[in-house]
Amino acid sequence: MPRQCEICNNARAILRRPKTGQRICNECFFYVFETEIHNTIVDNKLFKPGDRVGIGASGGKDSTVLAYVMKTLNNRYNYGLDLYLLSVDEGISGYRDDSLETVKRNKEQYGLPLLIVSYEQLYGWSMDSIVEAVGRKNNCTFCGVFRRQALDRGALMLDLDHIVTGHNADDVAETILMNLFRGDLPRLGRCTEIVTAGDGYIGRSKPFKYAYEKEIVMYAYLKHLDYFSTECTYSPNAYRGYAREFLKDLEFVRPSAILDIIHSGEAMQVASDVQLPTLAHCERCGYISSNALCKACILLEGLERGVPKLGIAKSARHAQELLANESAMKSAGKAVEPVHFELLRGKAQAMREQRQMKEQQQECHDCTATSCAFACDDDATGLCSSSKETRRCACADSNAETNAAAS
Amino acid sequence: MSEAEEITVNVEFSGGMERLMKDQASSIQAKLPEPATIRDLIIHVRDNVVEDKKELFSKNDTVCPGILVIINGSDWEVEDSEDTVLSNKDTVLFISTLHGG
Ligand SMILES: [Zn+2]
Ligand SMILES: [Zn+2]
């Protein structure tokens, strides 16, 4: 006999929640899943009305479900957010090009504007060409550093207030374990935070921080969401792979393990004698950085000079040694100077001012002009000056009468 | 002994699971002697359908943690997980949760 839903007692249960062990039906699952995300958003005050929020979209399950849920909640609870899809094209053929097709379909399905920024366009190097230069061993370092900055660049191009990413509870627990096992205390302290600072201007958050991967996949399955599921062709990050397998084994015998680990991570305090780097800006590109040059600029410099090991050098001295051998270097000559962050910030600021000005103005009743001529609408007819001209020629008399009557 | 009754089960793979299968099949039909449980099906798939990396599909005669099993549209944990008894024409879907974000 089919089991009944333990919430509504009214329908067939189709899912056992890993968080609670409850067996629940379709509709109750959608409701509790979405409501928990809503509560995470409200409890942590992730947004304010009018915010422009970018959804980091990879085409994978997490970000696809995130886009769908964000759109749903924004409508249901009137968050008043302007939502955007923001994707990074790393330039990995057979992987990212396919997943970006999924993002483009999501754009149509959800009716959200999409911006794709590519490594090629931003840095002059695609991951395919980086792998060609550095081999398959350290390419993940490049990808991670470039992606982080690429998202910030995209966010400034769209003048976003905030970026949300699809990291789920399993990802967060996995990262806690990895940082713990590596003794990376500064990261251990930061990785449990639901909001992080981004480049210092644009905050990032993880609305799925407490959402189990199993529920995200079930949600996508039950809602028939269109997502892409291929492993990155360059991906083997062995360390993360082991952490993940270990975590899944733990979850198997004790489903609460994932939330328990997050809880422990949150409760851990980074000792005050652990040096947290003080942050300044990169001399070259203006990105936030604890050193004179940010990690991306060092990696790029290494690529340009044909010493790709530069950025993954173990110490500053090691990097100096590598640079000292400069005579042996050839220029790979791809040179795209990344756009300076001050310039991006300036443009974002200008866009913001323009929007604010537009909000204050009404549109002309006759045409859609919002030009400066409109600012001279001192007789408050709601017409731009050129429309006034036109009206005057066409029906000056009747128009004058209407205006007189109105005032 | 009379001939054993056989059941036919529709088996589907998604979320990247299909790439572990012979010919990257996203669906197959499995014939199992009755009575059959999900455990019997997992062993059958592991031995006959998974191409090579069998350890990515199954360990200890069940699926690897992180693979969801959906029987006729509902989570196998709603029923009796591995011990759930299969009927003729049931559809079982294996979804990997491990791929991509
Ligand atoms: Zn229900
Ligand atoms: Zn820089």
ipTM of the complex in this document: 0.93
A246 and A289 co-located in one domain: no
**Length in residues, chain B:** 101
Query: Are A246 and A288 in a shared domain?
Result: no
Predicted pLDDT of residue A375: 44
Mean pLDDT of A164-181: 94
**Which residue among B65, B70, B75 places its CB closest to the CB of A251?**
B65
Shared domain for A191 and A45, answered yes or no, is yes
For the segment A223-272, what is each residue's pLDDT rounded down to a tens digit?
999 898 877 777 666 788 888 889 988 998 898 999 999 999 999 877 65
Residue B11 belongs to domain with CATH number: 3.10.20.30
Burial (CB < 10 A; 0-12, 13-18, 19+), residue B29, is: exposed
Domain range for B23: 3-96
Compute the distance between CA of residue A304 and CA of residue A223 in angstroms, rounded to an integer: 46
CA atoms within 13 A on the CB side of B81: 10
Do A133 and A245 lie in a common domain? yes
A254-257: long-range contacts (C-beta < 8 A, 24 or more apart)?
Answer: A255/A18, A255/A19, A255/A21, A256/A19, A257/A173
Q: What type of residue is A78? A: N
Is A52 in the same domain as A163? yes
Q: Are A64 and A220 in contact (CB under 8 A)?
A: yes
Q: Is the pLDDT confidence value at B17 over 60?
A: yes
Of the candidates A14, A245, A252, which has its C-beta nearest B74's C-beta? Answer: A14
**Ligand 2 centre and the CA of A340: distance in Å?**
8
Classify residue B77: in a domain, yes or no. yes
Q: How far is the CA of A284 from the centre of ligand 1 (A)?
A: 57
Query: Based on the structure, what is the number of domains in chain B?
Result: 1
Chain B interface includes A39 (CB < 8 A):
no
State whether A167 and A113 are in the same domain: yes
As a whole number, the mean pLDDT across chain A is: 84
Helices and strands (DSSP H and E) totals, chain B: 1, 9
pLDDT at position B82, please? 94
Which pLDDT score is estimated for A5?
96
pLDDT category, A388, cuts 50, 70, 90? low
Give backbone dihedrals phi and psi of A202, rounded to 5 degrees, phi first.
-110, 115
In a domain, B15, yes or no: yes
Same domain, A119 and A198: yes
* Minimal C-alpha gap between B33 and chain A (Å): 23
Tally the residues of chain A.
407
Query: Do the domain assignments include residue B71?
Result: yes
Mean pLDDT of B2-14: 87
Same domain, A235 and A96: yes
Of A119-133, A178-192, A393-407, the one with minimum mean pLDDT is A393-407
Q: Does A64 touch chain B (CB under 8 A)?
A: no
Nearest to B16 among A15, A23, A230 (CB): A230
Residues A299 and A251 in one domain: no
**Confidence grade of residue B93 (pLDDT, cut at 50, 70, 90):** very high
Candidates A241, A217, A182, A271; CA nearest to A60 is A217
Size of interface A-B (CB pairs under 8 A): 74
**A16 C-alpha to ligand 1 centroid (Å):** 12
**DSSP symbols for A11-58:** SB--EE-TTT--EE-HHHHHHHHHHHHHHHHHHTT---TT-EEEEE--
Q: Which residue, among A352, A230, A340, has the nearest Cα to A296 in the 3D structure?
A: A340
User: How far apart are the CA of A316 and the centre of ligand 2, in A?
Assistant: 16
Within a domain: B50: yes
Condensed to tens digits (0 to 9), the pLDDT of residues A307-360 reads 777 666 655 566 666 555 554 444 445 567 889 999 999 999 999 999 988 888
Cβ–Cβ of B100/A12 closer than 8 Å? no
Residue A339 lies in a domain: no
Using a cut of 0.90, tell me whether the model's pTM lies above it. Answer: no
- Identity (one letter) of the amino acid at A276? L
A17: in domain = no
* Distance set, CA A90 to CA A60, A95, A138, A144, A199 (Å): 15, 9, 15, 10, 20
**pLDDT value of residue B84:** 95
Higher pLDDT, residue A402 or A252 = A252
A28 C-alpha to center of ligand 1: Å?
4
Which residues on chain A are in Cβ contact (under 8 Å) with B16? 229-231
Q: Does residue B14 belong to the interface with chain A, where contact is any CB pair within 8 Å?
A: yes
Contact A221 B70 (CB under 8 A): yes
Query: Is B101 a member of any domain?
Result: no
Contact (Cβ atoms closer than 8 angstroms) between residue A329 and residue A306: yes
What is the CA angle A34-A250-A262, rounded to 5? 50
Residues A392 and A291 in one domain: no
Decide if B73 and A14 are in contact by the 8 Å CB cutoff. Answer: yes
Separation of CA A2 and ligand 1 centre (Å): 13
Q: What is the count of structural domains for chain A? A: 3
Structure tokens at A402: 């209407």
Flag whether residue B65 sits within 8 Å of chain A, measured between CB atoms: yes
Output the DSSP codes for A151-183.
HHHHHHHTT-SEEE----HHHHHHHHHHHHHHT
| Neighbour-count burial for B37-47, b at 16+ CB within 10 Å, e otherwise | bbbbbbebbbe
Same-domain status, A218 and A365: no
Say what the alpha-carbon torsion angle B28, B31, B35, B36 is, to the nearest 10 degrees.
-30
| CB-CB neighbors (< 8 A) of A166 in chain B | 101
Is B16's CB within 8 Å of A167's CB?
no
Strand, coil or helix: B36: strand
Do residues A150 and A286 share a domain?
Answer: no
Q: Flag whether residue B98 sits within 8 Å of chain A, measured between CB atoms.
A: yes
| pLDDT class of A76 with cuts at 50, 70, 90 | very high
Comparing CB atoms, the residue among A228, A245, A248 nearest residue B100 is A228
Does A163 map to a domain? yes
Euclidean distance between the first and final Cα of chain A, in Å?
75
pLDDT (0 to 100) of residue A290:
83
Q: Mean of the pLDDT values across residues B1-18?
A: 85
Give dist(CA B22, CA A234) in Å, integer. Answer: 23
Per-residue pLDDT of B18-75, as tens digits, reads: 989 999 999 999 999 999 999 999 999 999 999 988 988 998 899 998 899 999 999 9
pLDDT digits (tens, 9 = 90+) for A41-53: 999 999 999 999 9
Range of the domain at A380: 358-406
- What value does the mean pLDDT take over residues A154-171? 95
For A4, which DSSP code? B
DSSP class of residue A361?
Answer: S
Tell me whether A103 touches chain B (CB under 8 Å). Answer: no
On whether the CB atoms of residues A102 and A227 are closer than 8 A, the answer is yes
B16 vs A218, A229, A252: nearest CB: A229
A2 assigned to some structural domain: no
Place of tokens 């591995």: B82
